[in-house]
């Protein structure tokens, strides 16, 4: 047993406290005085002690596309960023996690190579209805589906009509949706495809090719689907603030509909994306600054319940060339989520307890990981110790992500991760990964 002591422990408020750790769990939380001399004390001074981050939207791509990312590199980056649990998306690995065989391949690829705890999402594609009960029994955290082309042929889209007839109600797991519909963007996509190379290198033309109406229509349909079926529906990576009204109404009605957004939608603005800067490309796209301001309103009022990375890496050649039509759509930020969000939050009036709910408790709840994401007695002793006043310069070559590509290159961010504890074990400390294989594969 030992006790971490700090002047700033993030509970329902930020206050001085001692977090007692015993056999990998939080045994008690007390004031910082009166700890017996027989108990080892780790004095963190005025560094913040917070629940380890949970990232429920990570594309590790292993096995099959481990040259894009891999379990070892992704979980090392997670530990360096204060992330103690992540949940891997069912695509872009080969095979995808759409069958029990795909699930087994994923677990085999992760075994002995993960520095933090890892859960798995299952996937819904046309024709895999019969595989879903076995995946649920195996412990996947829920199921993801695309309502539009996913970008990889082995994970084709489905329709909501298809989803209403595959027995998800009986499985009792959340349905995660990439919520864009093709029809509202068909004309814009045709126009973008007809442009020559110079026009396709301009960010405004790419942004216009994925209008917010495609998200609004998909979210509206998803809310109706949840109302009709009772299935919990979770909207992934919301970028279009125009959909917030639909989500607020669903919340007021008591429907089982939740939503997330990502740091890139909250810190980056479409007006600032340079021509040919395809490191900024993601889907849905980064929109304009007024849209960003409204997303922050959605965080403040609880309409958006979590902020996740949507870490979606690829080899450099897939992001190169400056053509927004050809470049892979994904941003790597697994290691940076805490300093990104704290840098913005301190300007937007978001306090540390609310930030912790967005980065830890909210994603843990979605994934059904009840012992993760909060500082409470009986929870796993997953902790991050960090310095909120310390500036960190983003140098992609110093990140643990497999590829040094980032739209945040050269930015100074507030919030330096000092130490990460996984179930009471120190796995990362002051720039060094200490334990690369102590993570566990989790079941919901």
CATH of the domain at 358: 3.20.20.140
pLDDT tens-place string over residues 247-268: 999 999 999 999 999 999 999 9
Average pLDDT over residues 341-357: 97
262/277 same-domain check? yes
Residue 119 shares a structural domain with residue 249: yes
pLDDT at residue 255, rounded to an integer? 98
95 and 14 share a domain?
no
pLDDT exceeds 90 at position 409 = yes
Q: Is 211 found in the same domain as 325?
A: yes
Please indicate, yes or no, whether residues 239 and 155 belong to a single structural domain of this protein. Answer: yes
> Residue 6, SS3?
strand
Tell me how far apart the alpha carbons of residues 285 and 89 are, in angstroms, rounded to a whole number.
Answer: 19
Strand ranges, E, within 237-358: 257-261, 306-307
Tell me the pLDDT tens digit for each residue of 117-170: 999 999 999 999 999 999 999 999 999 999 999 999 999 999 998 898 888 889
Chain-centre distance for alpha carbon 327: 21
60-78: pLDDT as tens digits: 999 999 999 999 999 999 9
Please indicate, yes or no, whether residues 37 and 101 belong to a single structural domain of this protein.
no
Dihedral angle computed from the Cα positions of residues 265, 269, 275 and 280, in that order, rounded to the nearest 10 degrees: -20
Instruction: Please check whether residue 224 lies inside any domain of the structure.
Output: yes
pLDDT at 219 over 90: yes
Same-domain status, 100 and 133: yes
220 vs 235: CA distance, rounded Å: 11
Please check whether residue 63 lies inside any domain of the structure. Answer: yes
User: Looking at the structure, do residues 115 and 172 belong to the same domain, yes or no?
Assistant: yes
For residue range 192-215, list pLDDT tens digits in order. Answer: 999 988 999 999 999 999 999 999
Q: Is residue 275 part of a domain?
A: yes
State percent of the chain over pLDDT 70: 100
13 lies in the same domain as 63: no
Number of domains in the chain: 2
Q: Which two tokens stand for residue 47?
A: 């560094």
Asked whether residue 304 is assigned to any structural domain, the reply reads yes
17-39 average pLDDT score: 95
Residue 400 has pLDDT above 90, yes or no: yes
Report the pLDDT value the prediction gives residue 440, as an integer from 0 to 100.
98
In which band, very low, low, confident or very high, does the pLDDT at 291 lie, cut at 50, 70 and 90? very high
3-class SS at 76?
helix
d(CA 66, CA 50) in angstroms, rounded, equals: 31
- Does residue 15 sit in the same domain as residue 129? no
Any domain includes 373: no
Per-residue tokens: 371: 């012992």
Q: Are residues 37 and 62 in the same domain?
A: no
Q: Tell me the whole-structure pTM to 2 decimals.
A: 0.98
pLDDT at res. 164:
86
* Residue 34: pLDDT over 90: no
Q: How far apart are CA 338 and CA 306, in angstroms?
A: 13
What integer pLDDT is reported at residue 354 of this predicted model?
A: 98
Host domain of residue 76: 48-368+379-433
Q: Which two tokens stand for residue 320?
A: 């190169």
In a domain, 441, yes or no: no
**One domain for residues 112 and 174:** yes
- What pLDDT, on the 0 to 100 scale, is given for residue 8? 98
How far the first Cα of the chain sits from its last, in Å, is 28
């Amino acid at each position: 047993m030992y006790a971490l002591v700090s002047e700033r422990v993030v509970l329902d408020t930020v206050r001085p406290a001692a977090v007692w750790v015993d056999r990998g769990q939080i045994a008690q939380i007390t004031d910082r005085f009166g700890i017996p001399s027989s108990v080892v004390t780790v004095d963190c001074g005025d560094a913040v002690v917070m629940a380890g981050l949970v990232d429920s939207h990570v594309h590790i791509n292993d096995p099959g596309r481990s040259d894009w990312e891999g379990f070892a590199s992704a979980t090392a980056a997670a530990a360096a960023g204060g992330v103690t649990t992540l949940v891997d998306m069912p695509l872009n690995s080969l095979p995808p996690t759409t069958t029990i065989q795909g699930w087994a391949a994923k677990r085999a690829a992760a075994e002995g190579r993960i520095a933090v705890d890892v859960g798995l999402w299952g996937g819904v594609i046309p024709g895999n209805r019969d595989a879903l009960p076995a995946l649920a029994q195996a412990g996947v955290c829920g199921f993801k589906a695309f309502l539009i082309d996913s970008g990889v042929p082995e994970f084709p889209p489905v329709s909501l009509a298809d989803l209403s007839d595959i027995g998800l109600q009986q499985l009792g797991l959340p349905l995660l949706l990439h919520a864009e519909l093709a029809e509202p963007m068909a004309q814009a996509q045709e126009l973008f495809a007809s442009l020559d190379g110079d026009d396709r290198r301009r960010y405004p033309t790419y942004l216009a090719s994925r209008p917010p109406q495609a998200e609004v229509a998909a979210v509206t349909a998803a809310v109706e689907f949840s109302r009709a079926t009772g299935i919990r529906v979770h909207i992934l990576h919301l970028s279009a603030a125009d959909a917030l009204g639909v989500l607020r109404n669903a919340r007021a009605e008591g429907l089982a509909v939740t939503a997330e957004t990502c740091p890139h939608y909250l810190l980056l603005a479409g007006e600032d994306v340079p021509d040919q800067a395809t490191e900024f490309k993601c889907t849905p796209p980064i929109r304009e600054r007024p849209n960003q301001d409204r997303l922050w309103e959605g965080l403040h009022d609880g309409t958006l319940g979590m902020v996740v990375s949507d870490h979606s890496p690829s080899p450099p050649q897939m992001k190169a060339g400056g053509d927004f039509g050809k470049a892979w759509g994904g941003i790597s930020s697994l290691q940076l989520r805490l300093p990104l969000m704290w840098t913005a939050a301190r300007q937007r009036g978001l306090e540390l307890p609310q930030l912790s709910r967005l980065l830890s408790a909210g994603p843990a709840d979605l994934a059904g990981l009840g012992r993760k994401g909060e500082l409470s007695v009986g929870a796993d002793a997953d902790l991050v110790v960090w310095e909120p006043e310390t500036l960190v310069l983003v140098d992609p070559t110093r990140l643990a992500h497999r590829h040094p590509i980032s739209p945040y290159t050269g930015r100074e961010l507030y919030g330096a991760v000092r130490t990460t504890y996984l179930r009471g074990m120190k796995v990362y400390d002051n720039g060094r990964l200490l334990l690369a294989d102590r993570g566990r594969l989790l079941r919901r």
